[in-house]
Structure 1
Amino acid sequence: MISEVLSWYAQQMRGLVPARLAAADPADVNALLVTPRPGQEPPTSLAVSLRRNDQETLLGMHQAGDTTLQRLRAEHPAAVLLLRLSQDALLVRDVSLPIAAEAEYERVLGYEMDRLTPFSAADVFWTAHVLRRNRAAGRLDLRLHLVPRAWVAGPLALMQEAGLRPAAIEAAGIPPLRIALAHDTRHGSRERLKLRVAAGACAVLAVLAIALPFVLQSAASARVERRITALQPQVAQVQALRRTLLAGSAGADAIAAARRRLGDPLQLMASLTRVLPDDTYLSDLALRAGILTLTGQSASAVRLIPALSADPAFAAPAFSAPVTRIEASNTDLFSIRARVAAR
């Protein structure tokens, strides 16, 4: 957050610099433009123009082997020497990097050039500028412009024969795009401007050193308030769930009371399994209003009544229908009714 505040203040300070101090790029004011003639491979002539205060004037044509370029350069020593190409001569690629690489994105692009393009960084002249900063996604979007060195080897060789080297490649457009070939010599006025901006930045930092603790405390308080507000719907859901659970526990208590009064079917099944002998089979079992009805076959139905009476889970067992003997299977058909004991 501190870096974002400092970046914001730096932008504000740049906006406060008076127009007379914010000098334009020298190449915009006074430049000697060298343009290869189209359709020549390799190029044998170069058009030389002078741009002064946005006005261009054709000065002459430099042919291989003559001294036109040296003479024009000597006549305009203060002009920045540029090799001008058409926009079609540039290759363009949009690149996305982690936002953390913003301070060193040019170095990162240099390392990654052979992965991002078919060329290595040593085989191209290139520049890049920031398109947008997506802090939410943590990405830095850049636009990469490059010119393979092989494409401009001919014009550069002609200029080198004349003992000259351009400061940058300029692609025609509004505003023109420049790709530096060497570090430009900084003029004294720009150095003074940098000193003034640095002094202003120091003053801003002094103010920040005093105000920053209060700003951070206010920001932290605002974040806590936003989090509390954001959590309110979740708190309401938790409270509603708690009320539902309390209501459910009351229902569970009622179900438990009914089971104690009328009997738990699973416990009754366990008791019957334990009490009834192995030669007894049930064909029907019903539990209604605390009354258990058993129907089935047994090798001796008479002994079932004492077995059920001996278990505390059943009370007053008795036959609800006459016992029928099946001679073919040597078993008794029975129907017994018993009351489920309350617990």
Structure 2
Amino acid sequence: MSLQTTIDFDLKRFFHWWGRELAFLVPNRLKSSLSDSSGAIVFSAADADFQINFYRQAEQQTPMTWRLDSNIADSYQTLKAQNPDFEKAESILRLDNTQALKKTIYLPAAAQENLQQVVGFELDRYTPFKAEQVYFAAIPLGKTEHGQIEVLLVFTPKTLLDEQLGKLQTLGIQPVLVDFCQACTACPANAPAYNLLPERYRPRGDALGQAVHWLLNGILLLLTLAVLIWPVWQEGRAVDVLKNQIKTLEKETRVIEEQQHETDALRQQTQRLIDIKAQSPALVAVLNELSILLKDDSWLTHFQFADKRLQIQGQSPAASSLIGLLESSGFFSNVSFVSPLTQDKATGRERFQISMDVSPPPAEPKSDTEATTSNHPSVTEPAENGDSTQ
């Protein structure tokens, strides 16, 4: 099978097969209670009379048989009165091999769309009769290996069939179907049904009944489609709702992530500032340390502190001794003169400019006495006058 192969799909045959398979699953008792038909009455010509075979069910193998005298007008009515099941049974006229013929022909595949018309135009090529001389039915059996369609042609002379139908009408019998006995064995089970009964003999159905029938079929089809489509549509709507919720959550998640990133950035900057502050001593502590180290005869004129680097300018009687004095402190390191020492003629002191690194001194561990004192409140002994102070 190649990609260029055309798939032949007959929708009518498919639904016919599908309905037959579904009907097979229905129990016979339920099927008989739901069906309006009580069976089938098959009339076959036997010399001048008719043989009647009554099939109560379609799959019944052995029918009930009677012989009907066509010369007695009310013979069928008498038989019908004795068998009430005949009232709802379908009447079928079955032709034998002396009344009809069959032939297998092969036609181009394009003829399948208008098969009856094509066969009617070329009937004289396949049979010794013309189209106006016979009643015929063309039954497609399928495609051959060469791309043609195999057709079973069933036909009967009009005069012969009209004579048989006239006798049945005289007996009060109106068949709904005319078939050929040998065509039943030649046609497969899935072949389309055929009917040799002329249009003028076919019973006219009730227009209202047909309208109701088609209406019910339409409602059944709509319900079937609803059962098949409704769950899928509901699932599709549920999926759309979930997709919209996911989109909303994704937007909210992105906003939260951006806020989280901003919070992390602020936390990092804050921590950096805290680290810088922790690594740098307080300026008040530096000033306090300088005030302790420098004597009263020394003073500062300039003070500059940036990036853990301190630079001071001032005057002192012995500025050269300030280097060692400052390096002895735990706050200062890398102490050095920035410029040479000069003497102020007005005060007689040496001008100095010193630069140094500033870092907080390491915390000294508390002694046991200090720890005990910090953990317990101090209590003083009572004074001589009896007063106490805490």
Q: TM-score range by the shorter chain?
A: 0.3 to 0.5
Which structure has the greater CA radius of gyration? 2
The TM-score normalised by the length of structure 1 is 0.44
The TM-score with structure 2 as length reference comes to 0.40
Quick one: higher RCO (CA 8 Å, sep 6+), 1 or 2?
Answer: 1
